[in-house]
Structure 1
Amino acid sequence: MVASRRRFFKVTAQGLVLWSGLGGHVRPVRAQGTPVRIGSAVLGDYSMTAPILVALDRGFLKAQGVAPEFQPFQGGPTLLKAVLAKQIDLGVSGATDVPVFRATGAPVRYVASQVDRNHFTFNVAPGIAGVSDLKGKSIGVTGVGATTWISAVLLARREGWDPERDVKIVALGGLDAQLAALARGEIHAFVWGDGGVVTELAGKSKILFRFDSLMPKWISQAYYATDDSIKGSRDALARTLTALYQGVKFIRESPKEAVAIVARTLKWSEEAVARANQVSGPLLSADGTINAEAIEVMQTTLVDLRVQKQRVPTTDLYTTEFTPVRV
């Protein structure tokens, strides 16, 4: 089962609470420590949520003196609104969000890399043997300008195809829409995160490759905060990040236990979570170190594809105050 983006959750140190929407109510939780609210752009992505879920379950955040709340959102822009409204202290999203948002005036910057390189997967219909089979066919992406769209455009360029004539890139939104279009033969492939393992195991698609083979200098996902939060809540953010990278260490050292923890919240089978860990686990950053060269490559790509209107000085996009994280 793929966790729907239309459902909202709040995860605290005492468990997962399902609530009705942005205006819903969550049971109050009393916990000792500094309150820190963590938000993710989505729930149904293993690499984005696993370090957080493990840190919550194993008590790493509590041990750092943090009283955590975790709330997944319906995408990067929705998460950004909550971060800017001071409803979320630490966001984690597709890393292209930060330069795009900063270029529009949003005072946010990276505090740590979560997933190095590009962990997105290229998923094809069962009858597709290779990329060359897709010339003249359609590829599904979430939206124009999204990392899924950027990845599809760069793939077309690598193949020597015109992204507008030789292949059709279709913005369809969520995974349910991608799979429905795939089943109807309206698309023959789609770009997704590591959640593609769920549909692969169900026999609905197969993962052809991971996009870091095409885009090695990239940051797939990153933690970010506002300039004000970085200045005013430095100690709390540092302790939170320490706990999150302890979560990454636990995933590496105790993969079976970590799989069981994550499967309970994502509502994926343990087999699917284990497969997702094989796909994107190796790209989880061990200490959050931010690759400035990757940021430059990302900005060049974003401006070239007109996703970002203008470049932002790289030094305005990240801070090194928190990294490398020592665990």
Structure 2
Amino acid sequence: MGITRREFIKGTVAGAVAAGFGPAILPRVAQAQASVKIGTAGLGDYSLTAPALIGLEKGFFKENGVSAEFVPFRGGPDLLKAVQAGQIQIGITGSTDVPMFREAGVPVRFVATTVDSNHFTFNVAPGITRLADLKGKSIGVTRVGATTWIFAVMLARQQGWNPERDVKIVGLGGLDAQLAALARGEIHAYVWGDGGAVTELQGKSKVLLRLDTVTPKWISQSCYCTDEYIRTHKDAIRRALRALFQGVKFIRESPQEAFRIASKTLGWPVDAVARAHQISGPLLSADGRINVEAVRVMQDTLLEFKIIKRRLPLEDHYTHEFTPVRI
């Protein structure tokens, strides 16, 4: 039986981290004054990756005196391992990771918000036209206890359904497993990020709604660093964040070029990137400000669902010293 994310995190805190890790590093920009490796908790999500990809392609990191490398990982725990080891300086991940990591004893905190609110999508089989059609049916999530599971339970409650009786919420793993179960009729919906745009264009599913309708106070994705790196490399963080948010500004001002740049690394058709931008683009933060009330709501939600066991002071989760980012 596989270990839970919580067990993985605690094991990571307790043990030494191996120096090697798997994902290939994309080509770096020219050598500059500060070297910063930026990791993401995945590659198949537009809003998670696009600002960094565009910052590299357009030379924004170089302009800010940063030699940057981009490293995608297979999930938040793998990214955390590299951040703790000093192999990655800035992690970009789903924002519930930081309260979970912090509660498990890992000294990391938010330095900027990248995606406000909740960009996750509720994706349904082509024959489903409304939420009411799903009563009595099955919803796929990555894993029981994961953020996708929390959102599925919250959506069921919002509809007045008993999440244990009126719908069946099934932990299936990655997107391929979700789509296979959907095609076999074993599930009729699944929770995912803006990558639902790709499967929608393929005719395999359709995006029924964005889940900010379920979690009005939330932070979808954020940058985080270790407390030690924050203490010792403030200028490097400021310059790297400035380049990232220049990437966001470029997305807003030159979307078609931005879509072409992102599509090369994501491996998506440009029209799929454009559709993903319709979903999550409006939620991209312009300056990285951290909504403390949303941090509180996320911690409360994780406590309610018993994902974490202890309430920590909110100020343990973030620093305001790098935001708002000035471009």
Same fold (TM > 0.5):
yes
Q: Structure 1 residue 9: deviation in Å?
A: 3.2
Equivalent residue number for residue 251 of structure 1: 251
Q: What is the match of residue 40 of structure 2? A: 40
* 1:212-255 superposed Cα distances (whole Å, 9 cap, x missing partner): 11211000000000000000111001100000000000000000
Q: State the secondary structure of the residue aligned to 1:143.
A: coil
Partner of 1:303: 303
For the residues of structure 2 that align with 1:170 and 1:39, how far apart are their CA atoms?
29
Task: Tell me how far 1:8 sits from its aligned partner.
Answer: 2.9
Alpha-carbon offset, residue 144 of structure 1: 2.1
Percent sequence identity is: 64
Give the SS at the match of 1:10: coil
137-146 or 292-301, larger mean C-alpha shift: 137-146
Q: Report the secondary structure of 2:101's partner residue.
A: helix
1:238 aligns with 2:219: no
Find the aligned partners of 1:114 and 1:227 in 2 and give their Cα distance: 19
Partners of 1:12 and 1:56 within 8 A in 2: no
1:11 aligned to 2:26? Answer: yes
Aligned residues: 306
Q: Which runs of 5+ in 2 are unaligned?
A: 1-21
Partner of 1:290: 290
After superposition, residues 65-80 of structure 1 pair within 5 angstroms as 65-80=65-80
| Cα drift, residue 308 of structure 1 | 1.2
Whole-Å Cα distance in 2 between the matches of residues 140 and 222 of structure 1? Answer: 25
Counterpart of 2:92 in structure 1 is 92
User: Amino acid of the residue matched to residue 28 of structure 2?
Assistant: A
Q: Is the 8 A contact 1:13 1:57 kept in 2?
A: no
Cα distance between partner residues in 2 of 1:219 and 1:79: 19
Letter in 1 for 2:116: D
Letter in 2 for 1:72: P
In structure 2, C-alpha distance between the alignment counterparts of 1:247 and 1:207, rounded to whole Å: 26
Residue type of the partner of 1:137? K
1:228-286 Cα deviation digits (max 9, x unpaired) = 00001110011000000000000000001100000011110000001111110000000
Letter in 1 for 2:265: T
What is the alpha-carbon distance in structure 1 between the residues aligned to residue 43 and residue 216 of structure 2?
25
- TM-score of the superposed pair, with normalisation by structure 2: 0.92
Q: Which residue of 2 aligns with 1:162?
A: 162
What residue number does 2:196 align with? 196
Shift of 1:13: 2.9
Amino acid at match of 1:53: L
- Native 8 Å contact 1:12 1:68 kept in 2: no
What is the CA deviation profile of residues 169-208 of structure 1, one whole-angstrom value per residue up to 9, with x for unaligned ones? 1111111111001001111000000000000001110100
Q: State the secondary structure of the residue aligned to 1:295.
A: helix
Normalised by the size of structure 1, how large is the TM-score?
A: 0.92
Q: Give a deviation string over 1:94-152, Cα, whole Å, max 9, x none.
A: 00000011001000000000100000000000111111111111111112222211110
**Distance across 2 between alignment mates of 1:114 and 1:224:** 10
Two-structure CA RMSD over aligned residues (Å) = 1.0
Following superposition, the deviation at residue 12 of structure 1 comes to 3.2
Q: Give the equivalent residue in structure 1 for 2:179.
A: 179
1:23-34 superposed matches below 5 A: 31-34=31-34
Which one-letter code corresponds to 1:225 in the other structure? C
Residues 98 and 110, structure 1, Cα contact 8 Å, conserved in 2: yes
